[in-house]
Amino acid sequence: MILVTGATGKVGGQVVAQLLDAGVAVRALARDPASATLPEGAEVVRGDLADPATLDDALDGVESVFLVWPTLSADHAAPAAVETIAKHARGVVYLSARGVPDPAPGAPEQDPNSILGSHALVERLIERSGLEWTFLRPGGFAANTLMWASQIRDTGTVRWLHGAASRALIHERDIAAAGVSVLTGTGHTGARYVLSGPETLTQVEQVTAIGEAIGRPVRWEELPPEIALRGLLDQGWSPAAAEEMIDAYARMAIHPESATSAMEELTGRPATPFRKWAADHADDFR
């Protein structure tokens, strides 16, 4: 039995579906099972990572966990949640993030209020838990470009910053496939896999690809960083997380995010190009 957290999200939902396709028994964690839309065959159980006292029943009889953590919002509960998982399960595959540093003597601590700091916290707790662990560290999610969907639908223009920032965006289906390969395979304990799409595209090129997928041009309009930062804060982002994102795009405009071969090594097939992702999600932008 494999427990999948974040099962109603884009990656977690794909993990559930792909495990079921592989004939694996799947249990999906949901705060509200009645409203969870999941594939037939998944056992849906109530539980909340932010409230570790709710996890014991969900973990009963579970061998492995695919862990999608509620980054930052549930960090207060991370020590108890990881301890509870370790009490029941043998192994965990944690969906972390590219850029989390490997532990090294004397290395500076990550800002605990940042996205990478949150992932680093959970990684370190897992490493000390006694669990057999594997970390998946994807870079940019292709699905993050859905933040442009309303702009594209309403105006045909994306207003954002650092159009030259370049990423090798990865399809959520590929992240899930890598996770399923690890969960159902052997030889991955203690590994940290950096996942990416097959090619590096600037944000302007990503917008162009979305336009091609929906059959009409989409323009890029460069936004000053201070305006983009204000927009993130207005959306409820913490100052540390918002500034971390703005700084990351500035770095990627100078140092593009490179493509890796981990996806093909884990699954035996190449990663999905962003243009294919855009075609798969064209209706979201129309």
What is the pLDDT, as a whole number, of residue 106?
Answer: 64
Q: Which residues pair with 167 in a beta bridge?
A: 201
Q: How far apart are CA 195 and CA 138, in angstroms?
A: 4
Q: What is the pTM of this model?
A: 0.93
Domains and CATH numbers, the chain: 2-138 (3.40.50.720), 142-167+198-258+272-285 (3.90.25.10)
What separation in angstroms does the CA of 160 have from each of 205, 206, 229, 284? 13, 12, 10, 19
Q: Name residue, tokens 């839309």.
A: 37
CA end-to-end span of the chain = 39
Q: Which residues, 6+ apart, have CB-to-CB distance to 88 below 8 Å?
A: 56, 59, 60, 62
Least confident of 55-69, 102-116, 169-183, 258-272: 102-116
Exposed, middle or buried, 25 (CB in 10 Å: 0-12/13-18/19+)?
Answer: middle
Tell whether the model's pLDDT for residue 64 goes beyond 90.
yes
What separation in angstroms does the CA of 100 have from each of 11, 110, 114, 268, 277? 19, 9, 11, 26, 25
Q: Tell me what percent of the residues of the chain surpass a pLDDT of 90.
A: 85
What is the pLDDT, as a whole number, of residue 72?
Answer: 86
Mind listing the pLDDT tens digit for each residue in 93-114?
A: 999 999 998 877 766 677 777 8
Mind listing the pLDDT tens digit for each residue in 236-247?
A: 888 888 898 899
Mean pLDDT score of the chain, rounded to an integer?
Answer: 94
Q: How far apart are CA 244 and CA 248, in angstroms?
A: 6
Q: Which amino acid is at 86?
A: A
What is the pLDDT, as a whole number, of residue 107?
Answer: 66
Residue 27's pLDDT band (cuts 50, 70, 90)? very high
Mind listing the pLDDT tens digit for each residue in 103-144?
A: 777 666 777 778 889 999 999 999 999 999 999 999 999 999
